[in-house]
Amino acid sequence: MTMIKKVFRQMLLTQVISSMTVMICMVIDSIMIGRFLGVDAMSAYGLATPVLLIFAAFGSMLAAGIQVYCGKTMARGDTEGTNACYSNSIVLAAAVAVAGLALVLIFTGPIITLLGAGKPGPANPVYDLTRDYVRGFIVGAPAFILAQIMVPYMQIAGKRSLLVAAVIAMTVSDVAFDILNVFVFHGGTLGMGLASSLSYYIALLVAGGFFLKKGCMFRFRLKLAKWKRCLELMGYGIPTVVNQISQVLLVFILNKLLLREGSTLAVAAFSVISTIGNLCYCFAAGVGSVALLLASILYSDEDRPALYELVRTMNRWAVVLSLAVTAAVLLAAPLLVSLFLTDNPAARDMAILGTRLFAVSLLPSSLNSCFKNYYHGIRRTRFSEVISALQNFVMIAASALLLSIPFSTTGIWLGYLCGECLTLLALSAVVWKQSGKLSLSAPAYALLPEGFGAREGDYLELSFRDIPGALAASQKVYSFCQLHGESPRDCMMIGLCVEEIGVNVIEHGFAGSGRQHSAELRLLIKDGKRVIRLRDDCVSFDPVHYMDLHRDDDPTAHIGLRMVMKMVRRANYINTLGLNNLTLEL
C-alpha cells in the first residue's frame, strides 16, 4: 500500500498545476480586466464565464473519459484499445472545437443577450465588452480543448515535468500578452480574450512535441476512430459533463439572483469570488483527478485493499489541502480582492465578504469532489452524476435562493457553505444505507460490490527495497503456497520465480539511480489460478518484449528470465503513472 501513497503524492502536485490549465488564464484576465478596464468590463467577464465553462465542460468530459477508458485498457495490456482511446479523443476534440468556434462566432449576439448582457446600445457598454471578450477567447477553443485532453495522457506516461513546463509557458505568455494589450495595443476585452487564446496555443506547442516522438506510448491511428468508440469514451466522461453543466447553470442562476438583489456591482463582486474560488477548487480538483485515474486502474485490477488505501489517502490530502487553502484565503481575502477591484469600495467590500464565506465551504467541497471522482472511477456513474448535480447546482442554488430572502447578497454567498454541507450529508446517507451502519471507515465509503476482488486469505502482499528483502519475500511466498495446498515442487518454483524477478528488478532497476526505490509484490491463489503482480518505481523495462526480442539468443543467456517465462501461461507488462507493472499468470 506504500506504493499507492507514493504515487498519489508524486502525481498530486502536477495534477493540481494541470487542473489550473483552464483557470490560470481566466484568473490573469480577471485581474487585468478588473484593475485596468473597470467594473463594466469585470461584469462583462463574469457574464461571459458560462461560455468558457461550456468548452471547459467538453474538455473535462474527454479528460475524465480518457482516464476511465485507459484505466481499463492499460490494466489488461490492451495497446490497441489505448491507441483507440487516444485517436478517438483527438478526433472528437478537433470536431467539437471547430464546430463550437463557428457557432459562437456566428451567434455571438443572441448568446450574450441570453447570458444577461442585454441588448446593444450606447447606454449598455456591458454588451459590447462581453461580445468582444467572447470573440477573442473563442479563437483559442481548439488549443483550449486539446490542452485539456493532453493532461491525462501525460500523467499516464509519467511526463509530469513537461506538464509543469507547459503550464508555466502558458502563464508567462498570457501575462506578457495581457500587458501588451493594456499598455501597447489598447485592445480592451477583445485583446484580453485573444491573449488567453494565444497562450493556450503556446502551451500546446510546448507539450505537443511529446506525442510526435517515436518513443511515445500513444499512437494516432485514424482507422481506429469509430463512432461506437467515441460514444463509449464520451459515456465514461458524462459525470464530468454533469459537473460542468451544473456549474454553468449555477453561475447563470446566481447572476440572475444578484441582479435581482443589487446591481452590476454585485455581479462584478461575484466574478471576483468565482475567479478566486475556481483557483481554490484546483486543489480539490487535483486530488479528485488523481483519485479518478488510480481508481479506474485499481478497479480494473480488482484490487480491493489498494482501493481502500486510495480512499484513505485521497481524503487525507483533501482535508490537509482544503484547510490550508481556507486559512490562506481567510487571511488574504482583502489582498486577493484588491488584485481585481481597486476603484470601487462597495464592490470590493462585497467581494471580500463573499470570498471569506466561500472559503469556509472548501473542506466539504473537497471531500465531495474526491468522492464523486472516486465513484466515477469505480464505475458507479449514476451516483457520481447525482453528487455532481447536487454539489454544483441543486443544493447551492436552492440554499442561495432561500438565504437571499432574509440576508440579501450575503445569503447568496452563504449558499456555497450550506449547499456543500448538504451534499456531503446526502452522500453519507447513501453510503450508510448501503453499508447498513453509520461508519466513517474507508471500506464503507469505498462502496465496492460483494464478491469484488480476492478474499483476504487468497492473496499475499509484500514490499521490498533490497536483495535481502526480495529473498525474504520469496520465503514468505513459499510458506503461503504451502498453506494453500500447493505441491512442494510448485511451492519451490513459485518462490524461485518471485526471487528471480525481485532480484532482477533490484540489480538492474534500482542500482545507479541515486534515489530510493521500492517494489510491491502481490501473489493471488484462487480457483486453481496462480497470479503474480509486481509493481516498481524504477527505470522502465519490459521483460516480456525483451524476451521476445532475444528468443533466438544463446540459451544460456538471460537464463533467469527464460526460466520465469517458461513457467508463465500469460504475461502482461505496462508502464503507467511512472510505474512498471508486470503480471504473470503461472
- What is the structure's pLDDT at 549? 46
- Cα 28 from chain centroid (whole Å): 22
Task: Tell whether 247 is covered by a domain.
Answer: no
- Residue-wise pLDDT for 196-250, tens only, equals 899 989 988 998 888 888 778 888 988 888 888 888 888 888 887 787 778 878 8
Q: Are residues 205 and 323 in the same domain?
A: no
Return the C-alpha cell found at 306.
Answer: 489498494
Who's near 100: CB < 8 A, 6+ residues apart? 54, 55, 58, 138, 141
Q: Tell me phi and psi for residue 379, to 5 degrees.
A: 75, 15
Q: How far apart are CA 285 and CA 373, in angstroms?
A: 9
Confidence of residue 57 (pLDDT cuts 50, 70, 90): confident
Q: Do 524 and 531 meet the contact criterion of CB atoms below 8 Å apart?
A: yes
- Residue-wise pLDDT for 113-143, tens only, equals 888 888 888 888 889 999 999 999 889 888 8
Q: Are residues 266 and 223 in the same domain?
A: no
What residues make up the domain containing 379?
255-453
- Residue-wise pLDDT for 151-186, tens only, equals 888 877 778 788 888 888 888 898 899 999 999 998
Task: Provide the whole-model pTM.
Answer: 0.75
Q: Are residues 61 and 129 in the same domain?
A: yes
Q: How far apart are CA 52 and CA 46, in angstroms?
A: 10
What is the number of domains present in the chain?
3
Q: Are residues 266 and 327 in the same domain?
A: yes
- The CATH number of the domain holding residue 481 is 3.30.565.10
Angle, alpha carbons 144-149-153 (nearest 5°): 145
Arithmetic mean of pLDDT, 424-438: 90
- What is the structure's pLDDT at 120? 85
Domain boundary (453, 475, 504) is at: 453
Q: Do 56 and 22 meet the contact criterion of CB atoms below 8 Å apart?
A: yes
Q: Are residues 152 and 280 in the same domain?
A: no
- Residue-wise pLDDT for 237-276, tens only, equals 888 778 777 887 888 888 888 887 766 788 888 888 888 8
Task: Tell whether 249 is covered by a domain.
Answer: no
Task: Tell whether 157 is covered by a domain.
Answer: yes
Q: How far apart are CA 195 and CA 36, in angstroms?
A: 15
On the question of pLDDT at 44 being above 60, the answer is yes
Residue from 105, 289, 62 nearest 197 by CA: 105
Q: How far apart are CA 563 and CA 559, in angstroms?
A: 6
Task: Tell whether 340 is covered by a domain.
Answer: yes
Q: How far apart are CA 417 and CA 391, in angstroms?
A: 10
Q: Do 329 and 359 meet the contact criterion of CB atoms below 8 Å apart?
A: yes
Task: Tell whether 69 is covered by a domain.
Answer: yes
Q: Are residues 496 and 401 in the same domain?
A: no
On the question of pLDDT at 374 being above 90, the answer is yes
Q: How far apart are CA 300 and CA 323, in angstroms?
A: 32
Which tops the pLDDT comparison, 176 or 457?
Answer: 176
Q: How far apart are CA 507 and CA 519, in angstroms?
A: 12
Q: Are residues 337 and 379 in the same domain?
A: yes
